[in-house]
Structure 1
Amino acid sequence: MKTPPWCPRANAHAERFVGTVRREATDRLLILNEHHLRTVLDHYATHYNHRRPHQALQLAPPQPDQPIAEPGCTSTRRRPILGGLINEYEPIAA
């Protein structure tokens, strides 16, 4: 079944993702061309699936690529992505 045009409730998951991408990435950047857009979206999709916390998963990413920091961990290292638009925090081994 095809999604009807201009009907945001017909595919709520896709609409939610598109809205999140717009708010967190593309609305804050000046996109220069298609190649730049694809690069930004690729970096953001990787961040979204591997590092960004999701409420439905008790603030864990869907496919973590590194161990999740314990709540009591106090030492972290910040790594900027997309020129500092997104910051990733990873625990530092004590």
Structure 2
Amino acid sequence: MDLEDTGCRVKYLIRDRDGKYPALFDTIMADAGITVVRTGVQVPRMNAIMERWIRTCRRELLDRTLILNQRHLLHALRQYETFYNEHRPHQSIANARPLGPLPEPITDPDRLAHLNIHRRDRLGGILHEYEHAA
């Protein structure tokens, strides 16, 4: 199966800096009109990290949204990026937000029994942000 048989045109190929790719490989890709983008220096897990982010973005946002045009896509991705970094909990960092401080622990039993949680919807209800009310 050739790339042309898929009905779409490949523009970029992301690859690591392994020595198994000779200079001829990049030349062949350039002749086919494909731009070769190399991953960062000494970042062997870069592909895995980005694949995880893309998969999460697709599952939580793009699979649930009908994108109308490029402007709408960029707006949705900006909103999702803010949500992902400032509000969405991440298991790898103790369910905290990457760009936010760790929440103060609730030790008062009365406060635990009467939590006042507010929900704010983003992107028409696709994304939900939850916060303790003051």
Q: Shorter chain as normaliser: what TM range?
A: 0.7 to 0.9
* Matched ranges for 1:1-94 at <5 A: 1=17, 2=38, 11-64=47-100, 68=103, 70=105, 72=112, 74-93=115-134
Name stretches of at least 5 consecutive residues in structure 1 with no aligned partner.
Answer: 4-8
Structure 1: 4+ residue segments shifted above 2 A: 66-73
Mapped partners of 1:10, 1:90: distance in 2: 32
Give identity over the alignment, percent: 44
- In the alignment of these two chains, the number of paired residues is 87
Query: How far does residue 67 in structure 1 lie from its aligned partner after superposition?
Result: 6.7
Mapped partners of 1:69, 1:91: distance in 2: 11
Task: Name the aligned partner's letter for residue 65 of structure 2.
Answer: L
Q: 1:67 to 1:36 in 2, by over 3 A?
A: same
Mapped partners of 1:53, 1:44: distance in 2: 13
Query: How far does residue 68 in structure 1 lie from its aligned partner after superposition?
Result: 2.8
Question: SS of the counterpart of 1:32?
Answer: coil
